[in-house]
Amino acid sequence: MPRFVVHEHFSKHHHWDIRLELDGMLMSWAVPKEPPLKSGIRRLCILVEPHDISYINFQGTIEEGTYGAGKVELWDNGTYVMETRKDDKLVFFLHGKKLKGRYTILRFARAGQNNWLFFKTKEEQKIKK
């Protein structure tokens, strides 16, 4: 099963990075607030450059003067099952220590924007798009 990781990143702007193993790389989104543990909470997430798959286990400090400088900690990790994969919507089941259940990452309506929403979805609820 493909893996996921959430890094807590203490950089210039404290945030979390959710990364999904897809197509041999880690698709990555920066989440300014703590990822939602229950449904009903929506978080902005910003699509960033994909990371190399080896980054899935990274923890440590990125040196000053380097992109992403600051401390990176492992916040959660595990495996996931993709339910829906479209250009503007991903629906998947996370099997982590903290994040468990059905989640959605949904792009805002404007094409070309890097702004997405990340939220936990009730399993019986279907997202219309």
Q: pLDDT tens-digit profile of 68-108?
A: 788 999 999 999 999 999 999 999 999 999 999 999 999 98
Residues 6 or more apart whose CB falls under 8 angstroms from that of 20 comprise: 2, 4, 26, 27, 80, 90, 92
How distant, in Å, are the alpha carbons of 18, 27, 81, 114 from that of 49?
12, 7, 22, 10
Residue pair 35/64 in contact (Cβ under 8 Å)? The answer is no
| Residue 111 confidence class, pLDDT cut points 50, 70, 90 | low
Tokens of 22: 């897809």
The mean pLDDT of 16-23, rounded to a whole number, is 97
